[in-house]
C-alpha cells in the first residue's frame, strides 16, 4: 500500500475531500494535544467547546463527501446534529457563566 492512496480517489487522482479529511484529523490531534498540555500545566487559557464542535462538523462533512452519495444519505443527518451542537456551544460561550456556584446563590458572585 502506498501512502498516496490515502488522498487519492478511485481514479488515482488527488481527492479534495480526502485531503480535507486528513487535514481535519491532523488539526484535531493538534487541538487535543494543546488542550491536554494546557490542562496539565493548569493554564488559565482553554480551548472552547466551539472549536471541538467545528472540527466535528468539518470531519463529518469531509467524511460524507469522501464516502460518496450512497453513504451521504446516512451521514447527512449527522451533519445537522453536529451543526446543532455548534450552535449550542456558541450560545453557551455567549451566556453568562453557568457554574454550580451561581445556581446555589453564592453571595461572593
The pLDDT tens digits for 7-22 are 666 677 777 788 888 9
The pLDDT tens digits for 13-63 are 777 788 888 999 999 999 999 999 999 998 888 888 888 888 888 888 888
Q: Provide the pLDDT for residue 101.
A: 47
The pLDDT tens digits for 73-102 are 776 677 777 777 777 777 776 666 654 544
Q: Provide the pLDDT for residue 96.
A: 63
At 11 the three-state DSSP class reads: coil
Q: What is the 3-state secondary structure (H, E, C) of 25-45?
A: HHHHHHHHHHHHHHHHCCCCC
Record the pTM.
Answer: 0.64
Amino acid at each position: 500500500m502506498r501512502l498516496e492512496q490515502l488522498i487519492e480517489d478511485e481514479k488515482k487522482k488527488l481527492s479534495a475531500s480526502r485531503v480535507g479529511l486528513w487535514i481535519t484529523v491532523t488539526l484535531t490531534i493538534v487541538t487535543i494535544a494543546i488542550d491536554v498540555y494546557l490542562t496539565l500545566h493548569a493554564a488559565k487559557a482553554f480551548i472552547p467547546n466551539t472549536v471541538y464542535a467545528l472540527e466535528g462538523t468539518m470531519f463529518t462533512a469531509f467524511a460524507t463527501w469522501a464516502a460518496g452519495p450512497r453513504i451521504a444519505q446516512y451521514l447527512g443527518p449527522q451533519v445537522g446534529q453536529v451543526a446543532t451542537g455548534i450552535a449550542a456551544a456558541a450560545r453557551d460561550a455567549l451566556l453568562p457563566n453557568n457554574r454550580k456556584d451561581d445556581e446555589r446563590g453564592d453571595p461572593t458572585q
